Amino acid sequence: MDLGIKGRKAIVCASSKGLGLGCAEELAANGVDLVMNARTADVLNASADRLRETYGVKVTAVATDITTVDGRAEVLAAAEGTVDILVNNAGGPPPGDFRDWEMDDWNAAINANMLTPIELIKAVIDPMIDQRFGRIVNITSGSVKNPIPQLGMSNGARAGLTGFVAGLARQVAQHNVTINNLLPGQFDTDRINGLFKSRSEKEGRPADVIRAEAEAANPCRRIGAIHEFGQACGFLCSAHSGYVVGQNLLVDGGAFNSSH
Ligand code: NAP
């Protein structure tokens, strides 16, 4: 399917690898110019070079921390004017026991996974409204629908973003500006492998056994691939998704079972 967004301009945050990279690649494959971002310059530049060379789109790489005021300003400046598509993403908070978390830990999680996307939305949304096109996708987590006990900070911070977006999405939809959330289940990224490792250390069992159990428990009998996540993102960013508003789309192989 032609997504109808060739020549558009996107910011994809936290996109040197993992789910953000999957989204950036799908947009590049559909002719979208990109501002990509992550903190580690060499990994980011390697991914940006690959997408630029493979798809022939303009790719600007901005090595900065998207959770800081200055980092967001750098990324927005690199976009040079109106942004058509914004994919919000950042690293997820660490797992643990809430008794060990201090206010600073909570503030970091809320900043990264709630306030940072809201600040970026605030920066880009009015020009989107003026031009009657905008697509905003927030990468959140399956934990929004099915909270994961050991990821309490993620559960809490993402719930805040989800509630905010539910309201704003319905205020801007009339202008052909959509905001939706994409909820990953388990995808093959450094993040999920880190979580398997952390469980392995806690439970005293090999990480590959924990991973095999996760695969066996999924209706697809596997962990997701980042391009599959990117393809779902591509549709939400497409010209054809203007009537998909304020949704929380689970991409989890059917792991979460609910009839509504
Ligand atoms: P990942 O493979 O570890 O990739 C994270 C990406 O974000 C990297 O490019 C990383 O690069 C960048 N990043 C992290 N913090 C950043 C910051 N402060 N500023 C700019 N870039 C930053 O992680 P992932 O699995 O793709 O996860 C992405 C998001 O989805 C996370 O919030 C995660 O919690 C959530 N999620 C993932 C899964 C899963 O199965 N993978 C499931 C549910 C939710 P640098 O480190 O160089 O900055």
Could you identify the atom of ligand 1 that is nearest to the CA of residue 226?
26
Ligand 1 geometric centre to CA of 192 (Å): 10
The first and second tokens of residue 160, run together, are 């805040």
pLDDT higher at 1 or 19: 19
Could you identify the atom of ligand 1 that is nearest to the CA of residue 40?
47
Judge whether 181 and 162 are in contact, CB under 8 Å.
Answer: yes
Mean pLDDT of the 2-8 span: 98
Ligand 1 geometric centre to CA of 91 (Å): 4
- Bridge partners, residue 187, by sequence: 224
The protein residue whose alpha carbon is closest to atom 14 in ligand 1 is 91
DSSP state of 93: P
The strands making up 134-139's β-sheet, listed across from edge to edge, are 59-63, 33-38, 9-12, 85-88, 134-139, 177-184, 248-251
Would you say residue 260 has pLDDT above 80?
A: no
User: What's the whole-number average pLDDT of the chain?
Assistant: 97
| Pocket mutation for ligand 1, best pick of 17, 146, 154 (most atoms within 8 Å of C-beta) | 17
* Half-sphere CA count of 33, side-chain side, radius 13 A: 12
Classify 40 as helix, strand or coil: coil
Q: Does the pTM of the predicted model rise above 0.95?
A: yes
The protein residue whose alpha carbon is closest to atom 15 in ligand 1 is 91
Amino acid at residue number 201: E
Judge whether 198 and 217 are in contact, CB under 8 Å.
Answer: no
For residue range 116-154, list pLDDT tens digits in order: 999 999 999 999 999 999 999 999 999 999 999 999 999
Give the separation between CA 101 and CA 49, rounded to whole angstroms: 39
Could you identify the atom of ligand 1 that is nearest to the CA of residue 113?
32
Ligand 1 geometric centre to CA of 15 (Å): 8
DSSP code string of 221-253: SSPBPHHHHHHHHHHHTSTT-TT--S-EEEEST
For residue range 79-102, list pLDDT tens digits in order: 999 999 999 999 999 999 999 999
Would you say residue 1 has pLDDT above 90?
A: no
The protein residue whose alpha carbon is closest to atom 33 in ligand 1 is 92
For residue range 178-227, list pLDDT tens digits in order: 999 999 999 999 989 998 999 999 999 999 999 999 999 999 999 999 99
Could you identify the atom of ligand 1 that is nearest to the CA of residue 67?
18
Could you identify the atom of ligand 1 that is nearest to the CA of residue 16?
9
Pocket of ligand 1 (CB under 6 A): 14-20, 37-40, 43, 65-67, 89-92, 139, 141-142, 184, 186-187, 189-192
For residue range 13-63, list pLDDT tens digits in order: 999 999 999 999 999 999 999 999 999 999 999 999 999 999 999 999 999
What pLDDT, on a 0 to 100 scale, did the predictor assign at position 259?
A: 82
